[in-house]
Amino acid sequence: MLNRWSVVVVAVTLVGLLAGGVLWWKIADTTEFEQAVGLAPSGADRLAWTDWRAVRSELDADLSASSSSDQVDEFLAEGFDADLTSTSALLASAPVLHERFGFSPASVEWELFSQSPEGALVTLRLPESADFDELADGLEELGYTRPDDEDGVWRGGSDLLAGIGPDLTPELQHIALDPDERLVRTSDTADYLATALEDTGEQDEAVDQVVEASGEPLSAAVYAGPQACRELAMSSADPADQTLADQLVEDAGEVNPLTAFAMSAQPGGVRVVLAFEDDDQARTNADSRAVLARGPAPGQGGEFADRFRVGQVTAQGDLVTMELEPVEGQFVLSDLSSGPVLFATC
């Protein structure tokens, strides 16, 4: 017969197993994109995602950390031509990263660039084969100052980057390693990086919604509402285009401000997800935005039909999802993830 203390131990064990099971289920039920966003500093108003492992698979690129520089250059050129890599913060840095740092788009699993008023951060997940002790020794050889704690910030600086090689993004000035999660985090500000290590996972609800609705994209650009309205606004177009845009919006019907925006490269095309205050606005804007997306493209030039065909447009809850089929040779994600973009106007 179990005594009272045995019952307590069994109960505590069951609670622990149940809690662990719930945690596992939550992780298993989310995409890598969602998990990566959960690792970003809270309050990010801009996120840029590149699933490098998926991009390599899409392009049939058999690469690793030991691949030649020519192979990496060829892969990056193919990725550019396929409009799959424009969201990366590391494109210009890739050759030096590959040669000197031991990781690059040729070998990392994914990359997430996050930006907020407080700072910017690049987060990378490395493959299971990554040797973080070797990586740390390599950083020390490059001139980074080893932190007192294993999970602290490796300090570099702009002068150090200039001495390592050309075209390195400022976000590589300071680095933090997380061997347990196979993560490398980098920033241009050491203090921000240190703060970001302790402050992850709390994004605006609308941002989380458009990320979830984006599924498993090859690459994606995501904006919180205010940033979307600034980044995609018609105010950056010339006066004549702004006047035309005002008339087109009036003709299309009611248009409400966005609470979040995501545009992503999917294996079969491009997906746009727009978030609104409520489901009534979403239903209304599904109609008006579809009209705008099939018409002229003031500020971009020509017609949107020159760039893509509009497929299914749906409203579900607070979200509007638009499936776009790019015209061959058109760079829809890279061209239309920054403004002015009429069908995303606020």
The residue extents of the domains of the chain are 33-196, 205-344
Q: What is the pTM of this model?
A: 0.90
Task: List C-alpha distances in Å: 186 to 220, 223, 237, 268.
Answer: 20, 21, 34, 32
Q: Report how far apart, in Å, the C-alpha atoms of 8 and of each of 16, 45, 138 are.
A: 12, 46, 50
What integer pLDDT is reported at residue 21 of this predicted model? Answer: 43
In whole angstroms, what is the distance from residue 217 CA to residue 203 CA? Answer: 19
The number of CA neighbours under 13 Å toward the Cβ of 132 is 17
Q: Is 215 exposed, middle or buried (0-12, 13-18, 19+ CB in 10 A)?
A: middle
Give strand pairing partners of 320: 274, 315
Q: Which pLDDT belongs to residue 23? A: 37
Kindly list the distances between the CA atom of residue 319 and the CA atoms of 195, 291, 293, 314, in Å, as whole numbers in the listed order: 32, 17, 16, 8
Q: What is the pLDDT of residue 29?
A: 82
> What string of DSSP letters covers 195-223?
HHTT-BS---HHHHHHHHHT-S-SEEEEE
Q: What span, in angstroms and rounded, lies between the C-alpha atoms of 84 and 175?
A: 26
pLDDT tens per residue, range 196-249: 998 876 899 999 999 999 999 999 999 999 999 999 999 989 999 999 999 999
pLDDT of residue 28: 54
The 260-266 sheet, strands edge to edge = 153-155, 174-178, 183-187, 119-125, 110-116, 46-50, 219-224, 260-266, 269-275, 319-326, 308-316
Q: Which residues of the chain have pLDDT under 70?
A: 1-28, 201
The predicted structure's pLDDT at residue 7: 40
Burial class (CB in 10 A: 0-12, 13-18, 19+), 158: exposed
First and final C-alpha spacing in the chain: 69
Helical H segments across the chain, by residue range: 4-28, 32-39, 52-58, 69-81, 94-96, 132-142, 158-164, 190-196, 205-213, 225-231, 239-252, 279-293, 332-336
- Nearest one of 54, 153, 188, 155 to 108, comparing CA atoms: 54
Instruction: Look at residue 6 in the predicted model and tell me its pLDDT.
Output: 44
Residue 10's pLDDT is: 36
DSSP assigned state of 147: P
DSSP 8-state class, residue 144: P
Give bridge partners of residue 200 from the DSSP assignment: 41
- Pairing verdict, β 110-116 and 269-275: unpaired
The residues, ordered by sequence, that sit 6+ positions from 245 with a Cβ below 8 Å of its Cβ are 234, 237, 298, 299, 340, 342, 345
CA distance 40 to 47: 9
Q: How many CB atoms lie within 10 A of CB 217?
A: 26
Distance CA 144, CA 165 (A): 14
Region for residue 291 given its phi and psi (left: phi exceeds 0; alpha: psi -120 to 50; beta: otherwise): alpha
Angle ∠(78,175,114) on CA atoms, nearest 5 = 60
